[in-house]
Structure 1
């Protein structure tokens, strides 16, 4: 994808290239100052070829750039790795879900450029990209102080991410010190409140996976 103009004066978005590696890593180091190497695995990913359906196949790596060529921000997203580690999801199913469920893993903005709306505009850009690529759900880990921020960007905040795999079957995932922000991206995917669960169930993300009407969770299994 080529350069994309934004609503922000003098700022464009483009897919990350190998030459962006040093600038991107500097921005990411500021996201987690206690562990500046937390995103070190990103560096080799920046050398991947640019190809669809996202920027680098199933990964999205976008930089915000000034008209002078200065890197002001970066957004990284792609397949949720927990799908491949979950005991209730086999590998073929994980690959299918990874084509429908995405996660934003990092949004970083130069400290001198914060407050201009660059981070929010990067997230809106990612929503459009994931939607066009056929995804049904976009997620991210959310700390309490940012919950209202992400709600303003159209995300719902919940304790767990529960995903229906059939009418009376769902898997759940919880992050340790964060909640999950989730946004629906198409008309097939919905949130369904299920009695017995504190967080809604993502229903219909794959064909024939809608949660049964009237389903409830008795503490051990789903019933109808």
Structure 2
């Protein structure tokens, strides 16, 4: 389990361990207080072996810690579950995309420590980790009040997330109460503006999935 010094005095980042469970769950409880079960899978995941490609296989769980061992913040991310619920994706393709598209499901900081850029440091760390693990896109749900915050961290803000599966084929997902913030992580992946769509299409996330140049959406299908 490595420890990473940050640019913030007296604060380090490290992969979460089973002994962090109570502190992590306490911080996550503030993320969605109306749904106490929103992060019920995090505690058992913390007991999993720490192994690549992320901290706990396809999950990333990182804590920000003070020099005296106090847990100040936590970031949780991993597989976008919508991939496995989408009617346009078969399980094999969903698994392939899950190795290239990641999502931050929660990032939170102790209320008494906010304003110290701990959350931003956790997000920058996650960008590096997902990039090194071979992901091409990092996404997260974004409320309007935080759009400028994520723009400042290199993310693009859009109404939905559309992913190209071929030159004239894409699947999309929309969140009901939020927009999506997304950031390209490698040279193979790009955002492509498509006339007729309000949000760009993620092109090249898998081999042979670059979207066709000059393509547009006529309201029913993609055309060139």
Question: Shorter-chain TM-score: what band?
Answer: over 0.9
Aligned 1:1-224 pairs, distance under 5 A:
1-224=1-224
Displacement of 1:191: 0.4
> What is the TM-score with the length of structure 2 in the denominator?
0.99
Displacement of 1:162: 0.3
Displacement of 1:41: 2.0
Displacement of 1:33: 2.1
Preserved contact between residue 30 and residue 36 of structure 1 (Cα < 8 Å): no
What is the aligned-residue RMSD (CA, Å)?
0.7
| Equivalent-residue separation in structure 1 for 2:7 and 2:182 (angstroms) | 24
Displacement of 1:194: 0.6
Displacement of 1:35: 2.5
Number of residue pairs matched by the alignment:
224
What are the superposed Cα offsets for residues 51-76 of structure 1, whole Å, 9 maximum, x if unpaired?
00100011000000010001010000
Q: For residue 30 of structure 1, give the secondary structure of its aligned residue in structure 2.
A: coil
Displacement of 1:13: 0.5
| Equivalent-residue separation in structure 1 for 2:167 and 2:34 (angstroms) | 43
What are the superposed Cα offsets for residues 172-224 of structure 1, whole Å, 9 maximum, x if unpaired?
00001000000000111000011111100000000100000111111111111
| Equivalent-residue separation in structure 1 for 2:135 and 2:41 (angstroms) | 24
What are the superposed Cα offsets for residues 87-132 of structure 1, whole Å, 9 maximum, x if unpaired?
1111010111011000000001001000000000000000000000
| Equivalent-residue separation in structure 2 for 1:132 and 1:23 (angstroms) | 27
> What is the TM-score with the length of structure 1 in the denominator?
0.99
| Equivalent-residue separation in structure 1 for 2:40 and 2:82 (angstroms) | 19
Q: For residue 65 of structure 1, give the secondary structure of its aligned residue in structure 2.
A: strand
Q: What 5-or-longer segments of structure 2 have no aligned partner?
A: none
List 4+ stretches of structure 1 deviating above 4 A.
none
